């Protein structure tokens, strides 16, 4: 398993959790972003800087991800493409995206985009909370434990 992080919008606290997990479990972790990413020294942690532009980082992750990998993203279309390639996807809030729920999430995203385009105020996501951080860490630990145990 490799972990790919859609790093431009990933909260720093989530990156820190991922850095610790990569070192502890010896799983390769790669941050993909449009800007330079600072990473701690580790043979398991790397970053890729891609060119600027809409979905350039997403496209790079989709190009590299393989079956069994884990993608960290809150981008629903990216999650959908990664799942099509056999990857699991986890949001920074700890929500696991998989074949059983990604199409419904994609439909809801498209619906909200349509609502916003027509002028409706759909609000944004709630502030990132301590509970979100814990949920992410717990779900990540569960996925990594499953990976190392079989």
2-148: which CATH topology? Rossmann fold (3.40.50)
Q: How far is Cα 93 from Cα 32, in angstroms, rounded to an integer?
A: 19
Give the pLDDT confidence score for residue 124 in this predicted structure.
65
Distance, in Å, from the CA atom of 89 to the CA atom of 74, rounded to the nearest integer, reads 9
Look at residue 110 in the predicted model and tell me its pLDDT.
Answer: 64
Q: What are phi and psi of 33, to 5 degrees?
A: -155, 165
CA angle 90–92–98, rounded 5-degree value: 20
Q: Where are the domains of the chain?
A: 2-148
The SS3 assignment for 28 reads strand
For residue 97, give every residue at least 6 positions away whose Cβ sits within 8 Å of its Cβ, in sequence order, or none: 76, 79, 80, 83, 88, 89, 90, 91, 105
Structure tokens at 24: 């502890």
pTM: 0.86
The pair of structure tokens assigned to 46 is 């790397």
Task: List Cβ neighbours of 115 (8 Å cut-off, separation of 6 or more).
Answer: 122
Distance CA 51, CA 59 (A): 11
Tens-digit pLDDT string for the chain (150 aa): 999 999 988 999 999 999 999 999 999 999 999 999 999 999 999 999 999 888 899 999 999 999 999 999 999 999 999 999 999 999 999 999 988 877 777 766 666 677 667 777 767 677 889 999 999 999 999 999 987 665
Q: Residue 107's pLDDT is what?
A: 63
| Predicted pLDDT at 136 | 97
Q: How many CA atoms lie within 13 A of 18 on its CB side?
A: 29
Residue-level pLDDT at 109: 62
């Amino acid at each position: 398993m490799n972990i790919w992080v859609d790093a431009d919008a990933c909260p720093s606290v989530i990156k820190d959790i991922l850095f610790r997990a990569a070192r502890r479990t010896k799983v390769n972790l790669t941050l993909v972003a449009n800007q330079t990413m600072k990473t701690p020294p580790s043979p398991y942690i790397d970053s890729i800087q891609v060119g600027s532009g809409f979905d350039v980082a997403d496209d790079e992750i989709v190009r590299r991800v393989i079956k069994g990998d884990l993608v960290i993203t809150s981008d629903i279309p990216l999650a959908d493409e990664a799942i099509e390639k056999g990857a699991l996807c986890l949001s920074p809030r700890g929500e696991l995206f998989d074949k059983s729920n990604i199409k419904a999430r994609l439909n809801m995203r498209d619906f909200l985009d349509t609502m916003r385009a027509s002028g409706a105020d759909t609000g944004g996501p709630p502030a990132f909370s301590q509970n979100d951080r814990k949920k992410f860490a717990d779900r990540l630990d569960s996925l990594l434990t499953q990976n190392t145990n079989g």
